[in-house]
């Protein structure tokens, strides 16, 4: 569905500019190739800042030799791939503590700063962290991209009626959001994805940690990709990979710190006396995951695993939209031991929440909303709205504060009239 793209404006850019007006340091974190460097350069250029690229070996040597001299500036200093020189963080801390002021540093890195060597400064309380994940579908399509913000504000979804076919939805799922992949024709993307995974585990990991067995990290990612959107047990994964459970657990954390996977914790506040507390694991980019396990859009559309990929896609799209909202939103899933499940619960700081179910069918039934009604009845007025995403064309009301919404609403621009369902 998506043709090769050029440069794409990021929805996070205005938000980041606002942060730089008030925060002394902003850290832009996310997977390698998600567009952090491009956005860092755009922000620095727009503010007359200085760019320091630590992917340049000559620049890296100078910074390591004398970080204070290399980064000295009265204006904004934008430091790309900061994790390659951990001493940068100590320098930023000293400047922020001594001088303060807004818009002093913008840092971008392809791994979590918490993966850096023990004792490395983390800038806790001194820098605002923003996750820049691969492109959202709305960014690629040139769409609106504020579905979540609108739902939080209006408490009910816009009446979207789409012409996007179910097969085209899965085209979007397997396209993913990595800019370099999306600049290639559809048939060439699989080769890029395979090379990307190899580059991350072969280049980034050896610089940061000691991986005991070659190939385990990539194999673990492939296993998780096959089971995305599920509760995956370490015992089974360790057996499949022939590693110890402690080793398996450390590798799972490493995949998260490389922004290849993320875990969705269980949510149970005020819901049930017997919740299941295991986290669900999701791939960060469904395009990468589909490519490395050899699943095309037509196969996803036909097979049961397509529903799991669609669930991960929706969770990731909403996380991307949330990153541009100046509000702390907690993402979790709900799973009761009695069998009641809800794919996603998004909770605001005041305790109000949105509940989400994802179905790959072209229409949503009353039965698809059973879990949402369970949550609604127990949360009462704390529930803002509940939504069943589906792959069909229409928005419909399924009950009090419960709606069926096309997945395409996440990337298509709503009608100018913005009529809401009656």
Nearest by Cα to 400 from 414, 417, 383: 383
In degrees, rounded to 5, the angle at the alpha carbon of residue 377 between the alpha carbons of residues 408 and 230 is 50
342-350 long-range contacts, Cβ below 8 Å, gap at least 24?
A: 342/371, 342/372, 342/374, 342/375, 343/229, 343/311, 343/314, 343/315, 344/264, 344/314, 344/315, 344/318, 345/267, 345/375, 346/148, 346/318, 346/322, 347/267, 347/269, 348/152, 348/384
Residues 6 or more apart whose CB falls under 8 angstroms from that of 206 comprise none
Say how far apart CA 320 and CA 322 lie, in whole Å: 5
* pLDDT at residue number 5: 55
User: What domains appear along the chain, each with residue ranges and CATH number?
Assistant: 12-131 (3.40.50.300), 138-410 (no CATH)
Enter the tokens of residue 259: 């922004």
Contact by Cβ (8 Å): 409, 391: no
Contact by Cβ (8 Å): 219, 248: no
Mean pLDDT split into 10-residue runs, the chain, 422 residues: 66 90 91 91 93 92 91 90 87 88 89 60 78 92 89 90 93 94 87 89 62 78 95 90 89 89 82 59 96 94 93 96 87 86 93 95 91 92 95 94 95 62 42
Sheet with 330-335: list strands edge to edge: 330-335, 341-347, 353-358, 383-390, 402-406, 396-399
Say if residue 73 is exposed, middle or buried (CB neighbours under 10 Å; 0-12, 13-18, 19+): middle
* pLDDT at residue number 1: 57
* pLDDT at residue number 134: 94
pTM above 0.95, yes or no: no
């Amino acid at each position: 569905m998506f043709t090769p793209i050029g440069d794409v404006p990021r929805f996070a850019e205005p938000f980041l500019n606002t942060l730089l007006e008030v925060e002394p340091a902003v850290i832009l974190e996310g997977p390698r190739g998600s567009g952090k460097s491009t956005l860092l350069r755009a922000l620095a250029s727009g503010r007359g800042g200085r760019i320091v690229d630590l992917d340049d070996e000559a620049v890296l040597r100078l910074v390591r030799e004398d970080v204070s001299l290399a980064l000295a500036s009265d204006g904004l200093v934008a430091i790309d791939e900061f994790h390659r020189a951990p001493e940068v963080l100590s320098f930023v801390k000293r400047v922020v503590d001594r001088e303060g002021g807004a818009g002093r540093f913008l840092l971008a890195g392809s791994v979590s700063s918490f993966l850096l060597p023990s004792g490395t400064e983390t800038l806790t309380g001194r820098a605002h962290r923003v996750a820049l994940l691969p492109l959202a579908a709305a960014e690629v399509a040139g769409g609106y991209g504020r579905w979540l913000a609108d739902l939080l504000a209006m408490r009910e979804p816009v009446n979207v009626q789409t012409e996007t076919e179910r097969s085209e939805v899965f085209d979007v799922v397997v396209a993913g959001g990595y800019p370099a992949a999306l600049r290639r024709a559809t048939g060439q993307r699989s080769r890029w994805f395979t090379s990307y995974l190899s580059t991350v585990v072969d280049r980034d990991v050896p610089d940061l940690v000691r991986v005991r067995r070659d190939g385990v990290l990539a194999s673990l990612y492939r296993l998780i990709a096959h089971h995305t959107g599920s509760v995956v047990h370490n015992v089974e994964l360790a057996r499949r990979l022939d590693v110890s459970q402690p080793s398996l657990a450390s590798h799972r954390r490493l995949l998260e710190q490389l922004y290849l996977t993320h875990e969705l914790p269980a949510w149970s506040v005020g819901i049930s006396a017997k919740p299941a507390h295991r986290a669900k694991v999701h791939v960060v980019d469904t395009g990468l995951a589909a490519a490395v396990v050899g699943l095309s859009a037509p196969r996803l559309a036909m097979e049961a695993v397509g529903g799991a990929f669609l669930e991960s896609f929706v969770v990731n799209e909403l996380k991307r939209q949330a990153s541009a909202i100046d509000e702390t939103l907690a993402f979790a899933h709900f799973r009761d031991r009695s069998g009641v499940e809800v794919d996603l619960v998004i909770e605001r700081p005041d305790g109000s929440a949105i509940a989400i179910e994802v179905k790959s069918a072209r229409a949503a039934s009353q039965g698809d909303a059973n879990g949402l009604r369970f949550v609604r009845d127990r949360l009462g007025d704390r529930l803002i709205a509940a939504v069943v995403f589906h792959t069909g064309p229409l928005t419909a009301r399924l009950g009090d504060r419960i709606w069926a919404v096309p997945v395409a609403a996440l990337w298509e621009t709503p009608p100018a009239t913005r009529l809401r369902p009656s």
